[in-house]
């Protein structure tokens, strides 16, 4: 699907994949971007230990002088923010994602290169998101690449097409509640907006419907949790979003070409302006 959308952007590519089983109740998957220099892994291990985390396993993947590393750690949920702060404070590493079932893999370059370097097609899971990016405003690096996640809420990820024109208004409102931003990418804003509403007890469908009213500008986005995928199109329908619903698979994309790979065994239709669709795993 991502290769069929490659013409939409060649700056970066990324996926969020949700594994079938996940980890134990008190464990988390932490993806960390690390400089491949002497002492970097030791500093990450020290940071994890100082936050009270017990490392269960490590998988190292070095590329272009950086590590795209996967840690499984045992830690209490309320210490996750401390883990992120301590790892990022090393100056040699930065957290990419935290999940119980989800891991995010993203990098600069093409979808083909992402597959070559990280073997995405060999991963097994229940659902996921993918994105190819063309940068219009913010930087081109791994941390501005999609999918985006709130590091304070495991297993949530988002891909986004378009712009949020009232970005600063919504950001200032969120920052007053204690939300911290890692970038100035408006896609990150949407994730924090959704998480803030989840913490207030709203359902995913309620949150997406509310976002149509509160977020201004041309946009469509898809957001995933451990058991759901939700998608929305702006109220004027200025950014495309189509869905495929078949007997064995459901999919969504910004162009029909990415959905035609599933053949004729399902129905393709475009979301109406302002429409919200939520799929939940059985």
For residue range 47-63, list pLDDT tens digits in order.
999 999 999 999 999 99
Q: Is 242 helix (H, G, I), strand (E, B) or coil?
A: strand
* CA dihedral for 135, 251, 103, 204, sign (positive or negative): positive
Q: What is the pLDDT of residue 138?
A: 62
Measured CA to CA, the distance from residue 67 to residue 216 in angstroms comes to 38
Measured CA to CA, the distance from residue 152 to residue 146 in angstroms comes to 17
Average pLDDT for the chain: 93
Same fold across 3-21+102-280 and 23-100: no
User: Residue 35: enclosing H or E segment and its boundaries?
Assistant: strand 27-35
Q: What is the pLDDT of residue 185?
A: 86
Measured CA to CA, the distance from residue 30 to residue 151 in angstroms comes to 10
Q: What is the pLDDT of residue 22?
A: 80
Average pLDDT, integer, range 55-82: 93
Q: Is 82 helix (H, G, I), strand (E, B) or coil?
A: helix
Instruction: Choose among 251, 13, 29: nearest CA to 127.
Output: 251
pLDDT classification of 268: cutoffs 50, 70, 90: very high
Q: What is the pLDDT of residue 276?
A: 98
Architecture of domain 23-100: 2-Layer Sandwich (3.30)
User: Which residue in this structure is represented by tokens 């501005």?
Assistant: 144
Q: What is the pTM of this model?
A: 0.92
Q: Output phi, psi for 217, to 5 deg.
A: 110, 175
Measured CA to CA, the distance from residue 3 to residue 20 in angstroms comes to 25
What pLDDT digit, counting tens, does each position of 12-47 carry?
A: 999 999 998 889 889 999 999 999 999 999 999 999
**pLDDT of 252 higher than 90:** yes
What pLDDT digit, counting tens, does each position of 190-218 carry?
A: 999 999 999 999 999 999 999 999 999 99
> What residues contact residue 116 under an 8 Å CB cut-off, 6+ apart?
none
Q: Which residue has the higher pLDDT, 48 or 141?
A: 48
Q: What is the pLDDT of residue 269?
A: 96
Average pLDDT, integer, range 226-233: 96
Domain boundaries, the chain: 3-21+102-280, 23-100
The pair of structure tokens assigned to 271 is: 């979301």
Q: Give the pairing of strands 27-35 and 102-108.
A: unpaired
What pLDDT digit, counting tens, does each position of 103-126 carry?
A: 999 998 999 999 999 999 999 999
Q: Output phi, psi for 279, to 5 deg.
A: -115, 135
pLDDT classification of 142: cutoffs 50, 70, 90: confident
For domain 3-21+102-280, give the fold.
3.60.20
Widest CA span in the chain:
54
């Amino acid at each position: 699907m991502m290769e069929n959308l490659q013409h939409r952007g060649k700056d970066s590519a990324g996926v969020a994949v949700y594994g079938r089983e996940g980890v134990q109740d008190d464990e988390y998957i932490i993806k960390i971007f690390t400089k491949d220099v002497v002492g970097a892994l030791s500093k990450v291990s020290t940071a994890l230990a100082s936050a009270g985390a017990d490392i269960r396993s490590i998988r190292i993947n070095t590329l272009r002088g950086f590590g795209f590393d996967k840690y499984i750690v045992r830690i209490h949920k309320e210490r996750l923010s401390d883990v992120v702060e301590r790892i990022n404070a090393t100056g040699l590493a930065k957290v990419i994602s935290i999940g119980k079932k989800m891991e995010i893999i993203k990098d600069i370059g093409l979808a083909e290169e992402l597959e070559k370097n990280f073997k995405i097609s060999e991963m097994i899971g229940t659902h996921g998101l993918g994105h190819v990016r063309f940068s219009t405003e913010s930087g081109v690096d791994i941390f501005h690449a999609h999918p985006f996640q709130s590091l304070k809420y495991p297993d949530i990820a988002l891909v986004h097409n378009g712009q949020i024109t009232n970005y600063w208004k919504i950001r200032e409102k969120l920052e007053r509640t204690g939300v911290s931003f890692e970038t100035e990418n408006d896609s990150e804003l949407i994730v924090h907006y959704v998480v803030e509403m989840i913490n207030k007890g709203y359902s995913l469908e309620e949150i997406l419907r509310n976002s149509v009213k509160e977020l201004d500008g041309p946009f469509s986005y898809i957001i995933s949790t451990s058991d759901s995928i939700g998608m929305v199109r702006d109220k004027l329908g200025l950014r495309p979003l189509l869905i495929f619903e078949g007997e064995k698979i459901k999919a969504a994309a910004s162009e029909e070409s990415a959905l035609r790979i599933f053949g004729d065994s399902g129905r393709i239709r475009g979301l109406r302006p302002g429409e919200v669709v939520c799929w939940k795993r059985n």
